[in-house]
Copies of this chain bind each other. A is one copy, B any other.
């Protein structure tokens, strides 16, 4: 089932409406690679609907966030800009961000489970969530002096 279908089902179930704007924003989320900002989503959606407003984009993203369809992310390089992860909040994974081309690579690693458990045991704490970001140079930028992309 596609993202739009899932969201439609959800919104209808709670007496909400599936509007053209919401459909366009969902399409943008599916098609834009990486972790786009609200502005990037706005720019994309604007191609189809020149009248859409940036605040609608924000509002829709917040609403998708509440339902767990997108997850907010911040990276240190541009820490003020919120980015939106279409992977949603249930699928947890970690990120690598290239300092040169700003590319983001998603990955997972079973060692984090060990780190988590070690911490919980030592501090008698309960870890609910893990944010791990590696910063550095991707394979391409390591050799080739590359032009920056994105933010």
- Chain A interface residues toward B at CB < 8 A: 72, 74, 76, 79-80, 82, 96, 98-99, 105, 107, 109, 111-112, 114-116, 118-119, 122-139, 142
Q: Is the CB of B139 within 8 A of A125?
A: yes
Residues of B within 8 A of A124 (CB): 139, 142
A110 to B98, CA, bound (A): 23
Q: Shortest Cβ distance from A21 into chain B, in angstroms?
A: 26
| SS class, residues of chain A in contact with chain B | mixed
Question: A118 — nearest CB in chain B belongs to which residue?
Answer: B109
A127 to B97, CA, bound (A): 9
Question: A95 — nearest CB in chain B belongs to which residue?
Answer: B131
Q: 17 more A-B contacts (CB under 8 A) besides A76-B131, A124-B142, A128-B135?
A: A79-B79, A80-B80, A98-B125, A99-B128, A105-B123, A109-B118, A111-B112, A112-B115, A119-B134, A125-B136, A125-B137, A126-B136, A129-B134, A129-B136, A131-B132, A131-B133, A132-B133
